[in-house]
Amino acid sequence: MKEKFYRYIQELQDKITSRLEEVDGKAKFQEDIWKREEGGGGRTRIIENGAVFEKGGVNISAVYGPLAPAMQQYFKVGDVDFFACGLSLVLHPKNPMVPTVHANWRYFEMYDKDGTVIDQWFGGGQDLTPYYLFEEDAKHFHQVSKNACTPHGFSLYTEYKQKCDEYFWNSHRDEARGIGGLFFDYLKSDSHMKIEDWYEFITDVGNSFLKAYVPIVERRKNLSYTEENRRWQEIRRGRYVEFNLVHDKGTLFGLKTNGRIESILMSLPPHVQWVYDHHPEPGSEEEKLLKVLKNPVSWV
């Protein structure tokens, strides 16, 4: 399974980066191949200062070795070895009318000291963080995500949409990071679904990403915007940074397993503002977004 899924994310990275280069029309992804001392490595691809994308990364990695003590405590296991691979992407567009997007699809195995697999699971998801709310975009992103889930179980979209709303919640701000999407973790073999079935599910979700995001970018990338719109985007990006550094489990896992810091923090946007006690004008488009972030919506 680990070889099969790693092949899949290699191909998916190629597909996504080449399509995003077409959409941008100016910038190309720079590739960085890296090795991890304890075992494994990855292929980082970064796009910067494009016509559409101010900064973004589409990264794959496969790392293995002894599980760090901090993570042993987290998973409540003893001295075990692990293998983890996945594709992680974040795209921060320049135009505030185009939403930021994040997605991640990953696979994890744990072994005893004889090399026997003692646990294995998939996790991941995809979620959208707009700065200005276009309801048709929100509905489109959620409908494509739902269409990817439904063949594998009628209730999966509803369950993973709710988990996404709960996970990407900035509790210290009492608001969502964005308008959600899908979030799932610890997808293991059970009486309903075998690990092979979960592979089919997660690859269908991964394959849906470009269909979910690119039409939104194409619709919004040429809209005009003001300095004030840009300022709001940078203030909201600050909330994005707060979530990733305070709450995000993937960031935490990377930092605690001696992960590659450049790849872990590639999700952070290049221009951000923290304005003291900022509140948008009553009745404004900015306030409209905040109301939805305070009370997650059922989009489809």
All residues at 6 or more sequence positions from 58 whose CB lies less than 8 Å from its CB, including other chains: 13, 16, 17, 20, 29, 45, 87, 89
Q: CA-CA distance, 135 to 138, in Å (whole number)?
A: 5
Nearest residue to 72 via CA among 22, 110, 26: 110
Name the active-site residue from 102, 172, 247, 271.
102
Torsion sign, CA atoms 4, 9, 10, 11:
positive
Annotation says 92 is catalytic: no
CB 92 within 8 A of CB 55: yes
Looking at 25-177, list the stretches that DSSP marks H as alpha helix, in order from N- to C-terminal side: 69-75, 135-149, 156-167
Q: CA-CA distance, 232 to 131, in Å (whole number)?
A: 7
Helix, strand counts (H, E) of the chain:
9, 9
* β-pair partners for 59: 88
Task: Give the catalytic positions in this structure.
Answer: 102
